[in-house]
Structure 1
Amino acid sequence: MNYDLLIIGGGINGTAIARDAAGRGLSVLLCERDDLASHTSSASTKLIHGGLRYLEYYEFNLVRHALKEREVMLRAAPHIIWPMRFVLPYDKGLRPAWMLRTGLFLYDHIGGRETLPGSKSLKLDKAPHKGVLESRFKTGFEYSDCWVEDARLVVLYALDAANRGADIRTRTEVLSVKPTDEGYRAEIRHQGETQTVSAKGVVNAAGPWVDEVLGGIKTTQAEQSLRLVTGSHIVTKKLFEGDHAYLFQNADNRVIFAIPYERDFTLIGTTDKPYDFADGPVKISPEEITYLCDAASEYFENDISPEDVVWDYAGVRPLFDNKAEDASAVTRDYVLNVEEISDGAPFLSIYGGKITTSRKLGEHAMDKLKDYYEYKTGDWTESALLPGGDLIDADFERFYSDMRKRYRAMNEDLLRRLCHAYGTRITLLLGDGSSRPELGQHFGAGLYELEAKFLINHEWATSADDILWRRSKLGLHMSEGERAAFTEWFDANKS
C-alpha cells in the first residue's frame, strides 16, 4: 500500500501529527509497536501547564507557547481537560517571596490568559489548608493550570486522525525503512505477519527510540541527540480534601506536585533521573520513592513513608539535549529535524516535546513538511474540537447534568466517570437514553462488559492492561483478584 506519510510511534507526538496531517488531506499510516500511549505519554504528571519552574531557566518562549496552548486544549477537550488551582506555600528558607510573586506575575501575563483565573496571595493557616500543611506555613500563593487524562488525549488524537482517514495500527512494529526513488519502503509486522508499505515521507516520533529508528536508516551520526530522563511518580491514599493541588519547593531547587487523583488518591511527582537503556526496563527506584515521600513530608502535617505508596509509575522523557548538567534543567522544548535521506523525500525526526504543546508540535511538523506536499487546507487544529469535546460552552457540569436527565437509572459516580471519559461520545456507548443500557458483567470498580467491548471495538484496546491502566485507571481501584478475573475475561473475548 502507498501512503503520503508513515508515522512511527503512537505516543502524544505521533498521534498529534497524524491528526493534523489527515485533516489536511494526506493519506497517513501510523504504526505503534505496543499500545497507544503505552510508554512516556501515559507516564506524565498529567498536567496541561506552562511550566512555572521553567521561568527560572529563562525558557520564556516555551512557557509562553505552553500557556497559550492551555486554553486551546481546554476548549478542544473539556471532558478530559479541566482547570485546577495550584497552591504554592511560601517557605522562608527557599525562594524569596518577591521571586515567587514575580514569577507568577509573568505566568499570568505572558501567555495571553483568557478564561483561567489569575494568581493571588493566600492564607494557609485557615481551611482547607490548616491541618493539612505543617503549621509553619502561614502564607502562600495560588495560580491556575489544567489537568489532563494523558493517555485518553492520545487516544482522542488517534480517533480524530482515523475519523479523517488515517490508518492507525497498534501492535505493529516497523522492522525497517529503506529509501527508494519515490520515497521510502517500510517493512512492518503485526501478529507475526509481515507487510511492505510505501510512503512519500516518514515521521520518526518514536520517543526514546528516535535515535534508534534514525540509526537504522542512515549511516552517518544524527546531528541532534536525545537526553533520556526518568520521571517517576507515586500514588498514596488521599492526603487532603478539595480539588486543588499543591506545588512544593525542595531544598535541592526542584519542585514536586501533590495532586488529587482518581477521587480516592493523591499523586506525587516527579523526579528527574538520567536514564540509559542499559539500565533495563524503566521503573521507579527505592531511592526515588524515598525522595518523593521525604519531599512531601517536609510540607504535609502528617508524614508519608514508602509504606503509604499504593502504586507507582515511571516513564522515560526523550528530551532534546541542550547539554545542561542538571537533568531537571534540560529543556522541555522540542526540535524538529527534517532530512532528505531519500532524494526529495522528507524524513522528520521529533526530539523532545510536552503534552501541553503537542497540538502545536503537530502544526509545526506540517509546516516543516509543506514543501513536500499539497495540503487541502491550512492550519486547522487550533479551533477544532477533539472527539467528544463538543460540549455546549465547554461546560462539563452542564453536560453532566443533561446526561443525568437522559440516563436516570445509572449510578451517578459511574455516569460522571463515563461523561469525563467519552464526552458526547457517551451515546455511542450507552445509546440515546430511550432504553436502559445493558451494562453486562461487572468486573469491579465500575467497569462493565459493555464498556470493555466498546474499548475493544472502538479504541484499539487489545489487552486487559490497555483498559485498566491507559483507557482508564480503573486498575488502581480494583483488587488483585478483580484485575486477574478481568484479564481472564478479556483474553477469552478480545477476538
Structure 2
Amino acid sequence: MSKDDLIDVLVIGGGINGTGIARDLAGRSLSVILCEKDDLAEGTSSRSGKLVHGGLRYLEYYEFRLVREALIEREVLLNAASHIIWPMRFVLPHSPEDRPAWLVRLGLFLYDHLGGRKRLPGTRTLDLKRDPEGAPILDKYTKGFEYSDCWVDDARLVVLNAVGAAEMGAEILPRTACISARRDGETWTAELKSETTGETRTIRARCIVNAAGPWVNDIVGRVAGRNSRRNVRLVKGSHIIVRKFWEGPQAYLVQNNDKRVIFINPYEGDKALIGTTDIAFDGRAEDATAEESEIEYLMAAVNRYFKEKLRREDILETFSGVRPLFDDGQGNPSAVTRDYSFDLDEDGGAPMLNVYGGKITTFRELAEHAAGKIGKFFPKMGKDWTAETPMPGGEIENADFISFLERMRSAYPWMPRDLIKHYGRLYGTRMDRIVASAISLDKLGRHFGGKLYEAEVRYLVNHEWAMSAEDILWRRTKQRLHLTEAEQAAFAGWFDRTFPRKYGIPTERQAAMASHL
C-alpha cells in the first residue's frame, strides 16, 4: 500500500478490540490500516486475568444481558481457538461470613443456563473435607462449589487477530503512533509516526475507528481535535505470580472480606496467577504498577482460605493493567459495567467511531457491532463472518485439542512432549511453520533455555511483528517465566546481534514486510 493510497478504515489501537475490528473489517473486503503506538497487546490486553468468562460476579449487579452475551461468546471462541482457549474448572470454597450458600448456588445455576452452555460441564457441590479439591483449603471451610469457565492466552489472542487481519490484506503497523488526524471533507488525513524509524507517513482514510483503550479520549481530543460525549473510567487491576502451591489442574475463586472475588489460577504449568484488584486510576496508563497495598491485599485473600501461607518473598512477578471502562456513573470501581459503548462522530464529514469499554471475552461481538455502526458508510461491505471462522491456527477438528496433540506427537516423534504442547498451544495447526522440515532438536537451532529455540524466534520476527527480546519473552511466548536472568540476558544479546536494527526494525523483519507488500 503506497503512501498516497486512500483506504477505507484506519484503526487506532493494537489491543484486543483494535485487532479484532481490523480482522473483522478486512474480512469484509475493506482496506484497513491498523496503527499501535507500542507493541501489539503491550497495554491492557496482555495484563488481563486471562479468562474467557461470563463474569459470574456481574450477576450481583444485575448485568444479565452482559453475562448471557459473554457466555455465548465463550462457546464461540472455544470453538474458534481451542489451542489458546481451553476449559478450566473453578473451585469456590464457601464462606458463611460472606454470601449465603443459597445465593451462590442460585448464581451458579443462572451461570450454567443463561448462555446455552453446550461443551462445558455444569456446577457441582463439593465436600471440601472429602473431595481432593479441598485438600489445600483450611479445615474450617467444609463446603464448596465447582463450575466451568475458560482460560485464554490474552496476548496471543491479540496477535492472532492481527495475523488474521494481515492475511486478509490489512496493514499492521506496531510502534506507530497516530499523531494527528484532521477531517478533509469526506475523508480523514492522518499522520502516522514510526517509533522505530522516526519517519512520518501521511494517509487518507474514509473512516477512523478509535480503539485506543485507556487512551481513547486522548485520540479524540489531542489527536483529532474533537470532543466526545462519552467518558472513560480507568480502573487498575494488579496480579501477582507465585509458584503453584496445590495439586491438580483446578483453579480457585475466593471471596474476600470486601465482597470482591479473587482468582487463583494455574499458570504456565508450575506457577499460579492471582488477581485482580479493582482501583480507580487517574495516572498515565503506561505507568501503572502493582502497589505494595495491592500485593498485600491479594496475599491476604489467599491466606484467608489456604493452608499454605503466601509470603512477600514468594512473589515471582507482578503486573498491572488499566482497564478502560465505560463510565456509567457508578462510584464503586467493581460495580462499573464491563459492557462496551460506541460514540459515532460524523459531524462535518468523514466518520470517527470511538470505542469505550468492553472485555476480552466479548471482543469478537464488539468488532461485529463496530462493523454494523459504520456499515452505512460502506454499502458494499461484506456480511458478518467471524462467528463461524477459526482463528489462525485454530483449524482443529471438532476443536479437540487433545486429539490434535496426539496427531502432532505421531508427526514429530523426536520432539519432547512438553515442546509439542508448547508449539501446539501457541500456534495450533501452524506449528509446522516453525518446525518445518526439522527431524531433530538441533535442527531447531540454538536453544536459549526453557522451551525457546531459534526457529520459533525467527518465525515470530518474520510473521508476528516481534522486534525486541521482550516481545518474544513476554507477550509472544511467556518464556520469561521459565528462563533464568542469565538466560534472558544471553538471549537479549543474541537477539540484538542477530537482528541488527536498520532504521530501528530488524532487517529480517524488513525483508518479510517487503515480500508481503
Which TM-score bucket, shorter chain as reference? over 0.9
Which of residues 7, 29, 49 is equivalent to 1:45? Answer: 49
CA distance in 2 between partners of 1:260 and 1:330 (Å): 27
Q: CA deviation at 1:437?
A: 7.0
Task: Judge conservation of contact 1:406–1:433 (CA < 8 Å) in 2.
Answer: no
Q: Which amino acid aligns with 1:383?
A: E
CA distance in 2 between partners of 1:34 and 1:280 (Å): 10
CA distance in 1 between partners of 2:53 and 2:286 (Å): 31
Task: Judge conservation of contact 2:240–2:273 (CA < 8 Å) in 1.
Answer: yes
Q: Which residue of 1 aligns with 2:415?
A: 410
Task: Judge conservation of contact 2:182–2:224 (CA < 8 Å) in 1.
Answer: no
Q: CA deviation at 1:278?
A: 5.6
Q: Which residue of 1 aligns with 2:67?
A: 63
Q: TM-score, normalised by structure 2?
A: 0.93
Superposed CA deviations along residues 135-177 of structure 1, whole A, max 9, x for unmatched, are: 1111111111000000000011011111111001111111110
Secondary structure (helix, strand or coil) at the match of 1:356 reads: helix
CA distance in 1 between partners of 2:353 and 2:155 (Å): 24
Task: Judge conservation of contact 1:179–1:341 (CA < 8 Å) in 2.
Answer: no
- Is residue 115 of structure 1 aligned with residue 119 of structure 2? yes
Q: Which residue of 2 aligns with 1:327?
A: 333
Q: Which residue of 1 aligns with 2:509?
A: none
Q: CA deviation at 1:377?
A: 2.2
Q: Which residue of 2 aligns with 1:267?
A: 273
Q: CA deviation at 1:178?
A: 0.6
Q: Which residue of 2 aligns with 1:397?
A: 402
Secondary structure (helix, strand or coil) at the match of 2:465 reads: coil
Q: CA deviation at 1:123?
A: 1.3
Q: Which residue of 2 aligns with 1:308?
A: 314
Q: CA deviation at 1:375?
A: 3.7
Q: Which amino acid aligns with 1:244?
A: Q
Superposed CA deviations along residues 173-219 of structure 1, whole A, max 9, x for unmatched, are: 11110100231000111121111000000000111000000002555
CA distance in 2 between partners of 1:189 and 1:227 (Å): 28
Task: Judge conservation of contact 2:53–2:149 (CA < 8 Å) in 1.
Answer: yes
Matches within 5 A, 1:167-178: 167-178=171-182
Q: Which residue of 2 aligns with 1:244?
A: 250
Structure 2 stretches of 5 or more lacking a match? 500-505, 507-517
Superposed CA deviations along residues 90-125 of structure 1, whole A, max 9, x for unmatched, are: 111110011001101110111111111111111111
Which of residues 438, 446, 456 is equivalent to 1:441? Answer: 446
Relative to structure 1, the CA distance from residue 251 to residue 173 in structure 2 (aligned partners, 3 Å threshold; closer, same or farther) is same
Secondary structure (helix, strand or coil) at the match of 2:269 reads: coil
Task: Judge conservation of contact 2:191–2:201 (CA < 8 Å) in 1.
Answer: yes
Task: Judge conservation of contact 1:294–1:305 (CA < 8 Å) in 2.
Answer: no
Secondary structure (helix, strand or coil) at the match of 2:264 reads: strand
CA distance in 1 between partners of 2:351 and 2:260 (Å): 39
Q: Which amino acid aligns with 2:250?
A: H
CA distance in 2 between partners of 1:342 and 1:84 (Å): 49
CA distance in 2 between partners of 1:369 and 1:415 (Å): 42
Which of residues 376, 380, 387 is equivalent to 1:371? Answer: 376
More displaced 10-residue stretch of structure 1: 50-59 or 484-493 = 484-493
Q: Which residue of 1 aligns with 2:466?
A: 461
Q: Cα RMSD (Å) of the superposition? A: 1.4
Task: Judge conservation of contact 1:26–1:375 (CA < 8 Å) in 2.
Answer: no
CA distance in 2 between partners of 1:50 and 1:278 (Å): 29
Task: Judge conservation of contact 1:407–1:433 (CA < 8 Å) in 2.
Answer: no
Q: CA deviation at 1:79?
A: 0.3
* Equivalenced residues, count: 494
Q: Which residue of 2 aligns with 1:79?
A: 83
Matches within 5 A, 1:222-241: 222-241=228-247
Task: Judge conservation of contact 2:127–2:134 (CA < 8 Å) in 1.
Answer: no
Superposed CA deviations along residues 259-295 of structure 1, whole A, max 9, x for unmatched, are: 0000010110000011112697110000000000001
CA distance in 2 between partners of 1:484 and 1:432 (Å): 30
Q: Which residue of 2 aligns with 1:19?
A: 23
Secondary structure (helix, strand or coil) at the match of 2:132 reads: coil
Q: CA deviation at 1:436?
A: 6.8
Relative to structure 1, the CA distance from residue 267 to residue 478 in structure 2 (aligned partners, 3 Å threshold; closer, same or farther) is same
Q: Which residue of 2 aligns with 1:124?
A: 128
Q: TM-score, normalised by structure 1?
A: 0.98
Q: Which residue of 1 aligns with 2:214?
A: 208
CA distance in 2 between partners of 1:73 and 1:352 (Å): 19
CA distance in 2 between partners of 1:36 and 1:280 (Å): 14
CA distance in 1 between partners of 2:381 and 2:225 (Å): 35
CA distance in 2 between partners of 1:121 and 1:129 (Å): 11
CA distance in 2 between partners of 1:69 and 1:14 (Å): 18
Which of residues 176, 181, 187 is equivalent to 1:183? Answer: 187
Q: Which residue of 2 aligns with 1:338?
A: 344
Secondary structure (helix, strand or coil) at the match of 2:351 reads: strand
Superposed CA deviations along residues 205-250 of structure 1, whole A, max 9, x for unmatched, are: 1110000000025556421001001000001011112111101001
Give me the identity figure in percent: 52
Task: Judge conservation of contact 2:14–2:35 (CA < 8 Å) in 1.
Answer: yes
